[in-house]
A and B are shown apart, each in its own frame.
Chain A
Amino acid sequence: MKELKVTPIKDGTVIDHITPGNALKVIRVLKLPESTSSVVSIVMNVNGKKGKKDIVKIENREVDPKELDKIALIAPKATINIIRDYEVIKKHIVEIPDEVIGITKCPNPTCISNAREPVESRFHVVSKDPPRIKCYYCEREPEDIAEGII
């Protein structure tokens, strides 16, 4: 008997094609679970048609499209499927915005954005594929973007 690792949800959001190993960071960026009513399922490192991937399923919550692009830095090839009554009613491919604010920390310990100042971390996106960002303040580029996720 075939055993499904990934079971369908009735209503909610499925974030598919997450870079393998980054599902937990996606959870953190989206600040999940927000309440006890949101069941969140995570599957990591499963085989997909295009290779290994992570998947995150959020029951009974349709993720706001404005939040979706935040995860593009750590899951640049992710697709977001909005599910109602077991049907995919909307599909969205994430896109890295031109500027990233308050999502990831600058790795430079002497950057002013890491001091006690009333500013959030801020990065210009230098390239979208592969994702490269540069700190607005100190102009350094983090080597591992996922590592700095707040």
Chain B
Amino acid sequence: MPMNFHHRDIISIKDFSKEEIEYILEYAKHLIPYAKAEKHTTLLQQMILATLFFEPSTRTRLSFECAMHRLGGNVIGFADPSGTSLKKGESLADTVRMADSYSDVIVIRHPQEGAARLAAEFSEVPVLNAGDGAGQHPTQCLLDLFTILTEKKKIKGNNVVLLGDLKYGRTVHSLAYALAMFKADLTFVSPETLKMPKEVINECKEFGIEPISTTNLEKAIKDADVLYATRIQKERFPDAEEYNRVVGSYKVDTLLLQQAKEDLIVMHPLPRVVEIDPKVDATKHAKYFTQAFNGVPVRMALLSLILGGKKL
């Protein structure tokens, strides 16, 4: 059934229905050859994407810019607010009101929660949220779902283990919500002090999913189909010794993977620091670099649907 995303803001994964997500992921799959430059298009020629990145980013910014270029469009913007009028105290609202007159679509990353929602209020052009503080990162969630779908052929029924900082991690909050919507089974593995907030667990239950919470990774990995690892940040632990002890017990390495199913996939939103051993990269389990690439077809799908270009 055709869906209308024309001129729509993309702020939170919760703004999408399951059918809309399925539609986007199906279209993204179709765009893979374009994302790899095996096929070419000028679908969004003459159109401009403004990237407003108030916080550091590698993958998100580059993949949005790549997506727009692969669609034949152009990109303007900044990766660091220090060279802009924000230093002079200009408000986000005024910055957005300026940017929308130079562009057809805005992508924004900002350290404060709700910034993308505010930007959408003041912008005449569509706004895509590339991450707002500890809030939402909907396109990351979509590319994570896309990765699971393409690697496992389905989302429903997979046993997905979310590992790491589940308390403060915006990616895992959105992903848990979306996976529950798609009826995946969920296991949350984290240190005691970084457990998944009860609000997220309650949201999962509303979809009929009862997540299992545990601190024991070795036990959880035995039945897992997907292991989604996230970084445990040092700054969350006032005591360095406790941090080192905790980080050690949640490391994904080849020894741990010997206890896992053969077809387990390991994902990570990146950047990784110590939580996945580099020796895992060469194993068939490692899908985090493919996951990073998947940001391109997914973001291409969103940009072309939002800008109303004829679907490729």
Contact = CB atoms under 8 A, between A and B. Distances in A.
8 smallest beta-carbon distances between A and B, as pairs: A137-B114, A138-B113, A112-B114, A138-B114, A112-B112, A112-B115, A112-B118, A137-B117
Given A138-B135, A139-B12, A110 B93 contact: no
B114 A118 contact: no
A113 interface: yes
Given A112-B117, A117-B93, 12 more contacts: A108-B113, A110-B134, A111-B114, A112-B113, A115-B92, A117-B91, A117-B92, A118-B91, A119-B121, A135-B114, A137-B113, A139-B14
Interface string B110-138: 11111101100100000000001111100
Interface of B: 12, 14, 89, 91-93, 110-115, 117-118, 121, 132-136, 199
A137 B134 CA distance: 12
Given A110-B134, A139-B12, A117 B111 contact: no
A110 B113 contact: yes
Contact of A113 (B111, B114, B133): B114
Nearest to B118: A112
B255 to A, nearest CB: 39
Contact of A115 (B12, B112, B121): B112
A137 B114 CA distance: 4
Mostly, the A contact residues are loop
A116 interface: yes
A119 B118 CA distance: 8
Contacts of B133: 110, 138
A41 to B, nearest CB: 40
A110 B135 CA distance: 10
A110 B92 contact: no
Interface residues of A, number: 17
A11 interface: no
Contacts of B111: 110
A38 B303 CA distance: 58
A117 B113 contact: no
Interface of A: 108, 110-113, 115-119, 135-141
Contact of B118 (A117, A139, A141): A117
A137 B116 CA distance: 8
Nearest to A113: B114
A46 to B, nearest CB: 37
Nearest to A115: B112
B113 A111 contact: yes
Contacts of B91: 116-118
B200 to A, nearest CB: 11
Given A117-B91, A119-B121, A141 B199 contact: yes
A111 B118 CA distance: 10
Name the residue among B133, B135, B136 with the largest chain A CB count within 10 angstroms: B135
Which residue of A119, A137, A141 has the most chain B CB atoms within 10 A of its CB atom? A137
A113 B89 CA distance: 16
A133 to B, nearest CB: 14
Nearest to B14: A139
Contacts of B114: 111-113, 135-139
A135 B12 CA distance: 13
Contacts of A108: 113
Nearest to B134: A110
Contacts of B118: 112-113, 117, 119, 137
B127 to A, nearest CB: 13
Contacts of A118: 91, 93
Contacts of A112: 92, 110, 112-115, 117-118, 132
15 contacts: A110-B111, A110-B113, A110-B133, A110-B134, A112-B112, A112-B113, A112-B114, A117-B92, A118-B91, A119-B118, A137-B113, A137-B115, A137-B117, A138-B114, A139-B135
Nearest to A116: B91
Nearest to B199: A141
Contacts of A119: 93, 118, 121
A116 B92 CA distance: 9
